[in-house]
Amino acid sequence: MKDADAIKAKKKNASILLENSRMCPFKWMKNLYLCFYCDQQFTDPAILRHHNSLYHESQSLVQIKVALSRLKKHELVKADISNMSCKLCISEIYSLEDLKKHLIEKHSANLDINSQDGVLPFKISKNNFPCAICDEKFDEFKTLNHHMNTHYQNFICEQCGSGFITPDRLRTHAFSHETGAFACEICDKVFRSMNAKNEHYATVHKKVKRHRCPYCPETFRNYFQRNKHISTIHGMKLKEFKCSLCPKVFTSSGKIGVHVRTVHLKMKRHACDVCEWKFYSKSELKEHMVRHGGERKFQCNICKKAYARKYTLREHMRIHENDRRFVCTICGGSFVQKCSLKHHVKVNHASVKTDEFQNLLS
């Protein structure tokens, strides 16, 4: 019911925003922009905006709701917000948040301030595709549309943590984790599509920072680093999603969904074909399958020890590099592995009962 209520509130917000502002809703298909109400096709967003103001300026709330009902369950309505002026008083508005605030304070609109808007914002022209949220620029609408997943992470991939606007986009992304024909030239990962490989190369190897702070020029590699920066540096309160079953709080609805399924519902949907073990995610199952295969293909080039997992080899290499990253905060002793630090604490500082060490030993 909570999911249904959230969807209902999101659609209600979208209908009120569309009814009372001059934003231009649209659909997109194969490089064509379609009118949200009559499906007429355009190649230039400017002509679509003109068509919308000419023929659909006075759409009734009922007509808007009918158009919204044709969207998929979790789909947001794409809207060009180049002109977002208020229809009720002709005030100029420049952001969705300002529009919501204006309609609530000046016109007593029945908007749910805590719900998503149900609107995916764009400011586009025929040959110009900047992001309306972070101003990053793209060569085509298709890549801009994909980029919007970074700002609306409603559904989270359990395998890599990437977020997506809708479950359909998440399902499409999931194919990138299956074996395919597109191998990364830097590491041993293989992808089903060139786009998936390029995305992996940009984020993992080139460490491209695609997430820009809306309050300063700082950029970040992922959505979560950006949110932490906004909270700590700019003091802005981020939207929170509270678990109804425990005190945990999350910064995205997708994360809370994963939390509820794994922690409270204990949904282990990935079963091992060899034994009776089941796992919450594909990545956990993949790690487990190494036990059955027994192949140790990752070898240390210094001492020739071999490991089944690349991660374990990386952990091992810290021994040769004398990377003592785990430091005891009581006596200053440093250790290569976390398990060594835990053992040290138990043996030498057993009388210390700080919360920090209780967490360390858990």
Domain shared by 247 and 186, yes or no: yes
Domain shared by 202 and 252, yes or no: yes
pLDDT computed for residue 2 by the predictor: 60
Domain count, the chain: 4
Domain shared by 223 and 140, yes or no: no
Please count the residues of the chain: 362
Q: Give, for 278, the enclosing helix (H) or strand (E).
A: strand 278-279
Domain shared by 124 and 231, yes or no: no
In a domain, 356, yes or no: yes
Domain shared by 192 and 136, yes or no: no
Helices marked H in the chain: 2-20, 45-55, 61-69, 96-107, 141-147, 167-174, 194-200, 223-233, 253-259, 282-293, 310-321, 338-348, 355-361
Domain shared by 307 and 345, yes or no: no
- The 3-state DSSP class for residue 321 equals helix
DSSP assignment letter at 261: I
Domain shared by 198 and 112, yes or no: no
332: containing domain: 325-361
In a domain, 153, yes or no: no
- Are the CB atoms for 314 and 325 separated by under 8 Å? no
Domain shared by 203 and 244, yes or no: yes
In a domain, 281, yes or no: no
Rounded mean pLDDT for each run of 10 residues along the chain, 362 residues in total = 75 93 92 93 94 92 93 92 91 88 91 81 90 83 88 79 83 68 76 76 77 81 78 80 82 75 75 71 72 70 77 80 82 82 82 53 49
In a domain, 279, yes or no: no
Burial (0-12, 13-18, 19+ Cβ within 10 Å), 331:
exposed
In a domain, 276, yes or no: no
Domain shared by 221 and 132, yes or no: no
pLDDT computed for residue 88 by the predictor: 92
In a domain, 278, yes or no: no
Domain shared by 356 and 311, yes or no: no
Domain shared by 54 and 78, yes or no: yes
pLDDT computed for residue 103 by the predictor: 93
In a domain, 230, yes or no: yes
In a domain, 27, yes or no: yes
pLDDT computed for residue 119 by the predictor: 93
CATH of the domain at 255: 3.30.160
Q: How far is CA 148 from CA 76, 211, 248, in A?
A: 11, 11, 27
Domain shared by 189 and 311, yes or no: no
Q: Is the pTM of this model over 0.75?
A: no
